[in-house]
Amino acid sequence: MIGSKRGLKIAVASGKGGTGKTSVAVSLALAVRKTGRSVQLIDADVECPNAHHFLNLDRRESISVEVMLPRIDPSRCNLCGECAKFCSYQALAMLSDRVMLFPDMCHGCEGCWVICPCSAIEKGAQEIGRILCWTTDGFELLQGRLNVGQVLTPTLIRRLHSMADETRNRFDLTIVDCPPGTACPMMAAVRGADGLLLVTEPTTFGRHDLELALAAVRRFKLPAEVIINRSIGDDGIIDDLCRSRAIPIIERFPEDRKIAVAYSEGHPMIEAGSDWAERYSSLRKHLDRAWS
Amino acid sequence: MLIAISSRGDTLDSLLDPRLGRAERFILIDSDSQAFSVLETAGTQVAHGAGIQTAQMLLKAGVKLVISGDCGPKAFQVFQAASVPVYSAVGGMIREALAAWKRNELPMIGQPGGAHKV
């Protein structure tokens, strides 16, 4: 049963965007919470965080996430150029009389600070985003928000995970709402999870991106299960793939206008009607069995 | 004065490369003696900051003036900081671009263009 061991972390991912990751993650969190168990929800879709819209919570904290930005002291710099040579991202350019900094190229690796032979580089900081925290009794939502124009998405997601890990053992379950795609942000969000729920839809695009997602997360060797969303009865296209990969399909959520109506009013799937409450209760029971 | 022109080939008859940061090579010409050499750049290889890297290489080589198709925002900042003017040529051969600059026909880039994609 979920909660028999504290700190269980399940990632909800997809590959394809718009399959219903956030809807499933939030609704599953609420389904587990309904049984009296405590849940931590991580909104790791930091480029487009929106899980809070489905939940009625009071925000408690907003924490700045910074990375190191070099500050060069011209009085100590001997113009050796080692820092500019080292930087893989060309954030530092060597001119004849000074080093020029391009802040938006810097990935905050601190390498220039380490390599400078004259200690001319000081650690400045730049904010890449913020972590927002909502807490109520038995429920915590941690959400990363990348600042506009920033590119260090995986860095922010890793910091979000570290912060969540500090309180993770107080909860029966942690659910990670992952960003779409199969690139670095998705990988950073999935990393460290104990299990994976892949949400897909029975379309050519859904199958294609599910295949990519399965390939991307293979190295994590995580137990993975598939949820088909917006099923219209014939899910053959996904069935084939899952059969050949021996990945269980644990739920088929039907296409239902009630979901769209609830969504438009800011309500999660689980609140779209008694049939949906029942479906999530059954999903929760399945996970209780799978994680006993 | 050493002039750099982004080029697709190794001679004065080569075609001008309209890209600056991602040009594969530059023809470096001494405006007094007309002697020229070829500077290979890693511009097309790097994932990020090709313009910054190329600009640094040109400055290190002692270039005092650049002729290319356009100049991205970051390379432009580097050249501006080093007081190296960048002139824009539409295409044609290296020797034509050089001649056009000598006739004062090339516009100096005052505003950077958009960053080039790989």
Q: Where are the alpha helices (DSSP H) in chain A?
A: 21-34, 82-86, 111-115, 153-167, 184-190, 204-217, 236-245, 257-264, 274-290
* DSSP β-ladder status, B65-68 and B86-88: parallel
pLDDT at A149 over 90: no
Q: Select the more confidently predicted residue: A287 or B112.
A: A287
Distance from CA of B103 to the nearest CA of A (A): 30
Percent of chain A at pLDDT exceeding 90? 91
Percent of chain B at pLDDT exceeding 90? 75
pTM for the whole structure:
0.82
Residue of B nearest to A89 (CA): B48
Q: By the 8 A CB rule, do A115 and A129 touch?
A: no
Summarised one tens digit per residue, pLDDT across range B19-38 is: 999 898 999 999 989 899 99
Q: For an interface test with A, which of B52, B84, B116 has the most A Cβ atoms less than 10 Å from its Cβ?
A: B52
Identify how many contiguous H helices and E strands chain B contains and give both numbers: 3, 5
pLDDT at A84 over 60: yes
Select from A58, A54, A56 the least CA-distant residue to A272.
Answer: A54
Q: What's residue B44's pLDDT?
A: 62
CA distances from A240 to A14, A236, B117 (A): 17, 6, 39
Chain B residues near residue A98 by CB distance under 8 angstroms: 81
Select from B68, B76, B74, B56 the least CA-distant residue to B20.
Answer: B68
Residue of A nearest to B62 (CA): A96
Question: What would the two tokens of residue A32 be?
Answer: 């587990």
Select from A87, A69, A67, A64 the least CA-distant residue to A124.
Answer: A69
Query: Is B49's CB within 8 Å of A89's CB?
Result: yes
Banded pLDDT at B91 (limits 50, 70, 90): confident
Select from A87, A44, A67 the least CA-distant residue to A150.
Answer: A67
According to DSSP, residue A202 is labeled S
pLDDT at B117 over 80: no
